[in-house]
Structure 1
Amino acid sequence: MYKHILVATDGSELAQKGLDQGLALAKLIGAKVTVLTVSEPLSADAARAAQQAGIDNPATRYDQQIANKMSERFAQIEKSAAEHGVKVNLNHEIDNAPAEAIVRFAKYNDCDLIVMSSHGRRGVQKMLLGSQTSEVLVKTTIPVLVIR
């Protein structure tokens, strides 16, 4: 069935449910698992504000904060994977458009299933808050398993 599952996570509690489902499915069917986290780059406005607040080289500081966050997140993901008895390939990308990065990554890495979590918002709430999961569903031809 599925040979290479991409689990997209932002490190949230809800995303952990998606990770657990993806790992359990991979264990059940013997699929390879890749986990992807996408962070947005430091915006020019945020960099300017940081400099005005007296922070020297805000881009370097931001990069360090992201690296620390990813180190913690990856440790937690590896722990979850070990509990499921599954090996994972961990990846982090920086992109202004997380959904596009997920779709592009899945395509270029021959993933045949994307697993993501969603709050399941509808109507105006969804429109106002946006949804990376909804964008992935619209932009990919790869099957997507949405966990709520």
Structure 2
Amino acid sequence: MYKHILIATDGSELADKGLQQGLSLAKAVGAKALIVSITDVWSSGMIAAASPATIADYEAAMNASVEQILKDAAVAAKDAGVPYETKHIQNRYPADAIVETAQDMGCDLIVMSSHGRRGIRKMLLGSQTSEVLASTTMPVLVVR
């Protein structure tokens, strides 16, 4: 069935549900997991308004946060008995990074969570999951 599953996480409680589902599926089918966390790009307006120290502080805080998220995910993968790799993707739009990384790394399934927002809330807040679904032909398991 599946041999290499990309699991996207941002460390949130909802993303943790996606991580657990992805790891359970990987264990059941004997697949390996690629666990990714993405730090988004700064908008040009934010960069223009920020000092170099502010940018450096932000990047340091984000890197430390992602490092902990991926450490926690690694523990979960070890506990589940799933072979895994972790990857931090920096300065990318999450949906683009997820799709491109899955393709580049030879994954055959993407697992990610979604809040399931609809209507105006979805339009205002956006949905990385919707963007992934719209931009890939690869199977995507959405956990809610």
User: Does TM, scored on the shorter chain, surpass 0.5?
Assistant: yes
- Kindly provide the CA deviation profile for residues 26-80 of structure 1, in whole angstroms up to 9, marking residues without a partner as x: 01111010011111133444345443xxxx6223222211221122111211121
Partners of 1:109 and 1:102 lie apart in 2 by 11
Among 58, 63, 66, which residue is 1:67 paired with? 63
2:122 matched to 1:126? yes
Partners of 1:107 and 1:132 lie apart in 2 by 17
Partners of 2:104 and 2:70 lie apart in 1 by 22
Structure 2: gaps of 5 or more residues: none
Task: Report deviation, 1:100.
Answer: 1.0
Q: Which amino acid aligns with 1:73?
A: I
Task: Report deviation, 1:125.
Answer: 1.7
Q: Kindly indicate whether the alpha-carbon contact (under 8 Å) linking 1:95 and 1:101 is maintained by their aligned counterparts in 2.
A: no
Segment drifting more, 90-99 vs 109-118: 90-99
2:136 matched to 1:147? no
Superposition pairs of residues 56-135 of structure 1, within 5 angstroms: 57-135=53-131
Task: Report deviation, 1:101.
Answer: 1.0
Partners of 2:87 and 2:23 lie apart in 1 by 16
Q: Kindly indicate whether the alpha-carbon contact (under 8 Å) linking 1:14 and 1:117 is maintained by their aligned counterparts in 2.
A: yes
**3-state SS of paired residue (2:19):** helix
Radius of gyration: which is bigger? 1
Partners of 1:139 and 1:95 lie apart in 2 by 19
Structure 1: gaps of 5 or more residues: none
**3-state SS of paired residue (2:122):** helix
Structure 1 moving runs of 4+ over 4 Å? 47-50
Task: Give the % identical residues.
Answer: 50
Partners of 2:58 and 2:121 lie apart in 1 by 30
Partners of 1:135 and 1:41 lie apart in 2 by 16
Partners of 1:140 and 1:44 lie apart in 2 by 27
Give the TM-score normalised by structure 1: 0.89
**3-state SS of paired residue (1:57):** helix
Root-mean-square deviation (CA), in Å? Answer: 1.6
Give the TM-score normalised by structure 2: 0.91
Task: Report deviation, 1:98.
Answer: 1.1
